[in-house]
Amino acid sequence: MTGVQMNKLHQFHNNSKMSQENQLTKTEEFERQPVPSSHLKSWKSFLGMYAGEHAAGTEFVIGPLFLTTGVSAFDLIVGLLLGNFLAVLCWRFLTTEIAVKNRLTLYYQLEKICGKNLVIFYNLANGILFCFLAGAMITVSATAVGVPFDMEMPKLSDTLPNSPLFVMIVLAVGAVISIVAARGYNSVAKAANWMAPFIVLAFLVAGIVALGQLGVNSFSDFWALWGNGSEPFPGQIKYTFWHVVIWSWFCNAAMHIGMSDLSVLRYADKPSVGWTTAAGMYVGHYMAWIAAALLYAVYLQSPEAQAFLSAGNAPPVAPGPLAYNAIGIFGIIAVIIAGWTTANPTIYRAGLAFQAILPQKNQYRNATFWTTLLAGSLATIAGLFPAFAMKLLDFVAVYGFILAPVGAIIVFEHFFAEKAGIAKNYAEKAGISFNWTVLIAWLLSVGLFYTLSVSQGIFLSFLTLPAWLACGALFIFLSKQMQSA
């Protein structure tokens, strides 16, 4: 899963023959103008990028967490097939269609509609959520670093750090990741490209080894691993077929219906490039999740895990020990690299979001370094709290739920503005820096459906699509009222 737009943008440029200096120049050249036809790329430039990005540190956590919800074999395997396909459809027929039509970054597209000051508000929300996600990845890497030190692993129910050793390792890992992100991002992005095949291979090998450890010799044996599912672990909710479908559809909601991937897909030579996102969904969000779940299934048969269950507690989900149990030191290395290559670009992107908040006149030469270091510090602090990693299913649902409705503003304007008789890119045409109709539509839709989720106990991902539709419809209605006044 894990959803790292700036990483993909830099990785995309790394695929060309330009020098790193020219790559950055080209990236900056098109921040406020459409990508010219001379720089468009075919599907081949996107296929490996999506496959590599979505086999990341988050996958080591999400796969096992599915098992903690007591999901059945049919619900997991078939539910993931359908949910990931729905996500691909959104990338293909919404995100890529609009990206190819306008060829603008998400931020510039929003600025035209919302106004510069409102985009700053969006960047703040984006940056904070990025820090929390990066913090979860720091925790993931720390579970691998802690294996040789016999570190007590965080439990599913842990919110606070559980030992001084855990704190020390998280701080050390966070410091390294933050400094590297702040000082050498281009090298990090290039290294991530090189390491992606290793991470994918590690998932595949670990899954195969886990099947052997579980005594699986046929498909029927594999299917019987989960059977009809079980009761969820303490503190977890029961996942049904529709929980799996909807969650896997919207875990990347910020990227597809939230339009974050406009920034990379604007380089696509035609809308059919959107189908390449299937590589990410079915390598990372299918193969890698199931492989990681198998690692946890092996652990659940151990005396340690059975002792937790007998005591009425949920066994810990610690990616480091799970991977080490399957493929030894290579498993530890894979978890560290996966967490590192996910956290680094996420911190970098958070730094850019924070930098965009600064008034232009106050920007200075090393602004990117210091804002990225600030983002890394916040991410490291978040990493000290295991709940961000142990509750990753919930956090990713919240992340998509908050940011996705902003994408509805772009989608509804693109498809319905002319029919509704409202002007496109209203903030730009009216010369305003804050379009209140956007903020009201966003806050009302998110606030209403989040309140409904909490008060009625409704699974939040079930309400992502209603909130998205409500935000878009409200935007069109309010814009029509305002522009006709």
Under CATH, which architecture does the 5-393 domain have? Orthogonal Bundle (1.10)
Q: What is the pLDDT of residue 223?
A: 79
Is the pLDDT reported for residue 29 higher than 60?
A: no
Q: Which pLDDT score, from 0 to 100, does residue 193 have?
A: 65
**How far apart (Å, rounded) are the C-alpha atoms in residues 346 and 306?**
36
Q: What type of residue sits at position 76? A: L
Q: What integer pLDDT is reported at residue 12 of this predicted model?
A: 43
Length of the chain equals: 485
pLDDT digits (tens, 9 = 90+) for 77-132: 999 999 999 999 999 999 999 999 999 888 889 999 999 889 888 888 888 988 99
State the pLDDT confidence band at 485, using cuts at 50, 70 and 90.
Answer: low
Write down the pLDDT at residue 158. Answer: 83
Residue 47 has what pLDDT?
Answer: 84
CA 405/CA 466 separation, integer angstroms: 9
Q: For residue 184, what pLDDT band results from cuts at 50, 70 and 90?
A: low
Look at residue 26 in the predicted model and tell me its pLDDT.
38
SS3 annotation, the chain: CCCCHHHHHHHHHHCCCCCHHHHHHHHHHCCCCCCCHHHCECCHHHHHHHHHHCCCHHHHHHHHHHHHCCCCHHHHHHHHHHHHHHHHHHHHHHHHHHHHHHCCCHHHHHHHHHCHHHHHHHHHHHHHHHHHHHHHHHHHHHHHHCCCCCCCCCCCCCCCCCCHHHHHHHHHHHHHHHHHHHHCHHHHHHHHHHHHHHHHHHHHHHHHHHHHHCCCCCHHHHHHCCCCCCCCCCCCCCCCHHHHHHHHHHCCCCCCCCCCCHHHHCCECCHHHHHHHHHHHHHHHHHHHHHHHHHHHHHHCCHHHHHHHHCCCCCCCCHHHHHHHHHCHHHHHHHHHHHHHHHHHHHHHHHHHHHHHCCHHHCCCCHHHHHHHHHHHHHHHHHCCCHHHHCHHHHHHHHHHHHHHHHHHHHHHHHHHHHHCCCCCHHHHHCCCCCHHHHHHHHHHHHHHHHHHHHHCCCHHHHHHHHHHHHHHHHHHHHHHHHHC
- pLDDT(19) > 70: no
- Residues 111, 249: Cα–Cα separation, whole Å: 27
Domain ranges of the chain: 5-393
The pLDDT of residue 20 is 33
pLDDT score, position 10: 47
Rounded Cα distance between 139 and 340, Å, is 10
Q: Which of 11-15, 149-153, 315-319, 424-428 has the lowest mean pLDDT?
A: 11-15
Q: Angle at which helices 116-145 and 436-456 pack, to 10 degrees?
A: 40
Could you tell me which residue, 470 or 8, shows the higher pLDDT?
470
Question: What are the phi and psi torsion angles at 440 (to 5°)?
Answer: -65, -45
Q: Model pTM?
A: 0.86
Over residues 314-330, the pLDDT tens digits come to 888 888 898 988 889 98
User: 242-292, pLDDT tens digit by residue?
Assistant: 999 999 999 999 999 999 888 889 989 999 999 999 998 999 899 999 999
Among residues 324, 354, 365, which one has the least CA distance to residue 146?
A: 324
Q: What pLDDT shows up at residue 479?
A: 94
pLDDT, residue 188, reads 56
Residue 9 has pLDDT above 70, yes or no: no
As a whole number, mean pLDDT of residues 138-144 equals: 91
16, pLDDT greater than 60: no
In the predicted model, is pLDDT for residue 450 greater than 70?
Answer: yes
Q: What is the pLDDT of residue 6?
A: 43
Query: Hey, is 236 helix, strand or coil?
Result: coil
| pLDDT for 186 | 60
348-398: per-residue pLDDT in tens?
A: 778 877 877 766 545 555 667 788 889 999 999 999 999 888 888 899 999
Average pLDDT, the chain: 85
